[in-house]
C-alpha cells in the first residue's frame, strides 16, 4: 500500500471508532484524540498562523500499537481542530511505526522529523526520517529516507525522537539514546536539513537519571539553555529538566542544576513549540504505568494544558499555565476573602460532567511557613477524595484516599522567600493540574471520579489564615 492508502485506511477506521466513543470521562478543554490511543505530543510548531500539534497515535485500537502521527491545529492554543492523520507506517524503514519527533519551518516548507521503526531479528531498528509539506496538512516522506540510518557507536539500538532546532544559522538535531545503563542525548548538525553530521554526546545521565533518555528537547531560556528528557529506567518516569550552558561549537551541554518538570504521575514526553517567542510546552497527560479506565471507552491519552516556561530572578525554572488558559473562564462561580482559623469552609460543588473548573487560591505567609491550607475534593458518588494543599513550604496532591487513578502523595517545593502564594487548580472531567509558585511547582494527575460531581471543602491549620478564593467555570466541550 502507498502512504496515501495507509492513511485512508486509518481514517476510515478512526471515523468508525469515533462514533463508538463513550462520553463518561471525555475532557472538556484538554486536547485528546477523536478516538483510540494517543501518547507523546510530536512536531509542535507554529506555522502560518496556527499552532500545529502532532501526536503518537494508534487509530486501530485504544492500546498502544504501530504508531501513526495524528494531527490537529489551533489558533489560540485552547480550541483546536482535528486534521487528517499526517504519517502512517508505509515503508520498509518505518513498517513498525513512525515514532516521536519534531517539526521546523524553513522557507515556507514544514519539515517533520521522526523515527522510523522496523522489526529485525526481534529488535526494533530505529532510524531518523523526514516528511515535508507546503500546505501543513499533506506530508510526503523524503525519498532519501532514512536520513540517519544507524546510531553512532556512542549510542545504542535505542535511538529515537529527533528534536530539530535552529541556532546561529545552522540546524541541530538532538536524538535520545542510552549506553551502558545511562541515558544520553546525541547531537547532529546540518546546513540544509537533509544531510546530518554527528557531533557527539550532548549530555548524559549522572548514573541516577535513567538508562535511556526519550524525547529530548533543547532550547535557550533567559541567559541559560534548558535540556528536557523523558527517562526510562527510573521509578515512576518523570520528565527531567536541566538548566545549564550550551556550547554549540563543541556540541556539549553542561548542566548546572536539574529537577523534575512536573511532580505528578501523569506527565511524560513533553515537547516545546518551535517558532514562538514564548517557550510553550505540552506533555502527554497519562503514563506508561497504571490502568487507563478510558481504554474500555474507546480512547486513551490526552495533552496537558499549554504551559509557559521562564526563569525567575533567582534563576529558577518556573512553569505557568499559558496566558491563554484564562480565556477558558466563562463564569465566576465563587469569589471570597476568607479568614480560616481551624474551621472548614464548603465551596460550591464542582460539576465536572458539564464543564471544567479552575480554582485560584491566594494564601498569605502562614501557610507557606508553619501552617497548612488544604482543599479536599470528594466525589459525591463514591465518597472518596483527593486533597490539594500547601504544607511546610510544599505544594502537594494526595490521591491516596481515591481509587480513581494512581494513588500517591506528590509534592513540590515552593519559593521560600515569597510571603504569599497563589495556587491554581485546573479540574477537567478526568484530570487535575496544580500550579504553585516555586521551581517547576506543578503536579499533574488523571483522576476518574465516578459521579463527576466533586464536593469541595477548604480547611486550614496553624493559626488564622487569609485566603482569597476564586472559582471559575471553564469552557465546556462544544
What lies within 8 Å, CB to CB, of 395 at 6+ separation is 388, 389, 411, 412, 413, 414, 423, 434, 436, 438, 441, 443
- Tell me which of 27, 67, 127, 474 binds ligand FRU, using CB under 6 A: 67
Q: Which of residues 261-300 bind ligand FRU (CB under 6 A)?
A: 268-269
Binding characters for ligand FRU, 364-383, by CB under 6 A (x = yes): --------------------
Q: Which of residues 165-204 bind ligand FRU (CB under 6 A)?
A: none
Closest to 264 (Cα-Cα) out of 453, 420, 447, 100: 447
When asked if residue 62 is in the footprint of ligand FRU (CB under 6 A), the reply is no
Q: Phi and psi dihedrals of 6, rounded to 5?
A: -65, -40
- Which SS3 state, helix, strand or coil, does residue 295 take? helix
Closest to 41 (Cα-Cα) out of 213, 280, 254: 280
Spatial distance between the Cα atoms of 440 and 463, rounded to a whole number of angstroms: 28
Beta carbon of residue 56, minimum distance to ligand FRU (angstroms, whole number): 4
Angle at 460 between CA 458 and CA 465, to 5 degrees: 105
CB 384 within 8 A of CB 419: no
What lies within 8 Å, CB to CB, of 233 at 6+ separation is 178, 181, 183, 210, 211, 212
When asked if residue 40 is in the footprint of ligand FRU (CB under 6 A), the reply is yes
CB nearer ligand FRU, residue 97 or residue 449? 97
- Tell me which of 25, 28, 52, 56 binds ligand FRU, using CB under 6 A: 56
Beta carbon of residue 372, minimum distance to ligand FRU (angstroms, whole number): 36
When asked if residue 398 is in the footprint of ligand FRU (CB under 6 A), the reply is no
What lies within 8 Å, CB to CB, of 107 at 6+ separation is none
- Tell me which of 37, 54, 68, 99 binds ligand FRU, using CB under 6 A: 99
Element (H, E) at 4: helix 3-18
CB 193 within 8 A of CB 171: yes
CB nearer ligand FRU, residue 217 or residue 379? 217
User: Is residue 393 left, alpha or beta, with left meaning phi > 0 and alpha meaning psi from -120 to 50?
Assistant: left
The sign of the torsion formed by the CA atoms of 332, 334, 336, 339 equals negative
- Tell me which of 94, 214, 308, 437 binds ligand FRU, using CB under 6 A: 214
CB nearer ligand FRU, residue 183 or residue 255? 183
Q: Over the range 382-409, which residues count as b (16 or more CB within 10 Å of their CB) and which as e?
A: eebbbbbbbbebbbbbbbeebebbbeee
Spatial distance between the Cα atoms of 48 and 68, rounded to a whole number of angstroms: 24
Residue 76 catalytic? no
Beta carbon of residue 355, minimum distance to ligand FRU (angstroms, whole number): 30
Q: Which of the residues 23, 40, 142, 312 is marked catalytic?
A: 40
Beta carbon of residue 284, minimum distance to ligand FRU (angstroms, whole number): 7
Site size for ligand FRU (CB under 6 A): 14
CB nearer ligand FRU, residue 77 or residue 98? 98
When asked if residue 160 is in the footprint of ligand FRU (CB under 6 A), the reply is yes
CB nearer ligand FRU, residue 214 or residue 379? 214
Beta carbon of residue 212, minimum distance to ligand FRU (angstroms, whole number): 8
CB nearer ligand FRU, residue 25 or residue 267? 267
CB nearer ligand FRU, residue 214 or residue 364? 214
CB nearer ligand FRU, residue 6 or residue 470? 6
Beta carbon of residue 281, minimum distance to ligand FRU (angstroms, whole number): 15
Q: Phi and psi dihedrals of 446, rounded to 5?
A: -85, 135
Q: Which residue has the cell 497504571?
A: 290
When asked if residue 115 is in the footprint of ligand FRU (CB under 6 A), the reply is yes
Spatial distance between the Cα atoms of 48 and 70, rounded to a whole number of angstroms: 19
Beta carbon of residue 272, minimum distance to ligand FRU (angstroms, whole number): 16
When asked if residue 100 is in the footprint of ligand FRU (CB under 6 A), the reply is yes
Beta carbon of residue 112, minimum distance to ligand FRU (angstroms, whole number): 13
- Sheet containing strand 36-47, strands side by side: 81-87, 68-74, 50-58, 36-47, 299-300
Q: Which residue has the cell 494543599?
A: 389
Enzyme catalytic residues? 40
The site for ligand FRU (CB under 6 A) is made up of 39-40, 56, 67, 99-100, 115, 160-161, 214-215, 230, 268-269
Amino acid at each position: 500500500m502507498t502512504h496515501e492508502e495507509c492513511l485512508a485506511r486509518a481514517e476510515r477506521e478512526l471515523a468508525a471508532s469515533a462514533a463508538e466513543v463513550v462520553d463518561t470521562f471525555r475532557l472538556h478543554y484538554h486536547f485528546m484524540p477523536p478516538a483510540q490511543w494517543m501518547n507523546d505530543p510530536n512536531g509542535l510548531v507554529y506555522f502560518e498562523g496556527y499552532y500545529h500539534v502532532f501526536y503518537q497515535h494508534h487509530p486501530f485500537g485504544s492500546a498502544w500499537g504501530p504508531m501513526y502521527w495524528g494531527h490537529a491545529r489551533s489558533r489560540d492554543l485552547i480550541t483546536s481542530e482535528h486534521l487528517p492523520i499526517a504519517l502512517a507506517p508505509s515503508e520498509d524503514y518505518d513498517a513498525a511505526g513512525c515514532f516521536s519527533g519534531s517539526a521546523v519551518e524553513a522557507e515556507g516548507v514544514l519539515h517533520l522529523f521522526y523515527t522510523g521503526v522496523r522489526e529485525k531479528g526481534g529488535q526494533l531498528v530505529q532510524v531518523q526520517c523526514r516528511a515535508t509539506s507546503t500546505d501543513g496538512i499533506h506530508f510526503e516522506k523524503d525519498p532519501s529516507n532514512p536520513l540517519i540510518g544507524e546510531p553512532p557507536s556512542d549510542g545504542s539500538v535505542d535511538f529515537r525522537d529527533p528534536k530539530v532546532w535552529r541556532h546561529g544559522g545552522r540546524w541541530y538535531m538532538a536524538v535520545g539514546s542510552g549506553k551502558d545503563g545511562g541515558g544520553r542525548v546525541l547531537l547532529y548538525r546540518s546546513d540544509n536539513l537533509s544531510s546530518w553530521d554527528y557531533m557527539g554526546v550532548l549530555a548524559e545521565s549522572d548514573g541516577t537519571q535513567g538508562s535511556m533518555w526519550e524525547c529530548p528537547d533543547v532550547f535557550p531560556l533567559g541567559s541559560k539553555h534548558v535540556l528536557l528528557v523523558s527517562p526510562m529506567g527510573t521509578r515512576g518516569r518523570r520528565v527531567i529538566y536541566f538548566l545549564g550552558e550550551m556550547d554549540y561549537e563543541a556540541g556539549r551541554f553542561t548542566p548546572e542544576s536539574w529537577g523534575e518538570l512536573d511532580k505528578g504521575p501523569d506527565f511524560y514526553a513533553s515537547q516545546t513549540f518551535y517558532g514562538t517567542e514564548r517557550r510553550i510546552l505540552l506533555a502527554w497527560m497519562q503514563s506508561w504505568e497504571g490502568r487507563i479506565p478510558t481504554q474500555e471507552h474507546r480512547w486513551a491519552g490526552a495533552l496537558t494544558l499549554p504551559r509557559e516556561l521562564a526563569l525567575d530572578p533567582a534563576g529558577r525554572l518556573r512553569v505557568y499555565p499559558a496566558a491563554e488558559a484564562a480565556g477558558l473562564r466563562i463564569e465566576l462561580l465563587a469569589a471570597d476573602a476568607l479568614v480560616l482559623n481551624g474551621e472548614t469552609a464548603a465551596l460550591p460543588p464542582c460539576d465536572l460532567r458539564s464543564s471544567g473548573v479552575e480554582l485560584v487560591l491566594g494564601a498569605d505567609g502562614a501557610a507557606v511557613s508553619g501552617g497548612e491550607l488544604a482543599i479536599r475534593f470528594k466525589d459525591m458518588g463514591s465518597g472518596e477524595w483527593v486533597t490539594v494543599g500547601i504544607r511546610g513550604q510544599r505544594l502537594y496532591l494526595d490521591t491516596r484516599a481515591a481509587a480513581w487513578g494512581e494513588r500517591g502523595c506528590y509534592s513540590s517545593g515552593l519559593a521560600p522567600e515569597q510571603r504569599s502564594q497563589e495556587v491554581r487548580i485546573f479540574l477537567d472531567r478526568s484530570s487535575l493540574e496544580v500550579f504553585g509558585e516555586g521551581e517547576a511547582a506543578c503536579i499533574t494527575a488523571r483522576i476518574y471520579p465516578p459521579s463527576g460531581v466533586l464536593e469541595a471543602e477548604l480547611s486550614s491549620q496553624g493559626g488564622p489564615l487569609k485566603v482569597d478564593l476564586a472559582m471559575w467555570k471553564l469552557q465546556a466541550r462544544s
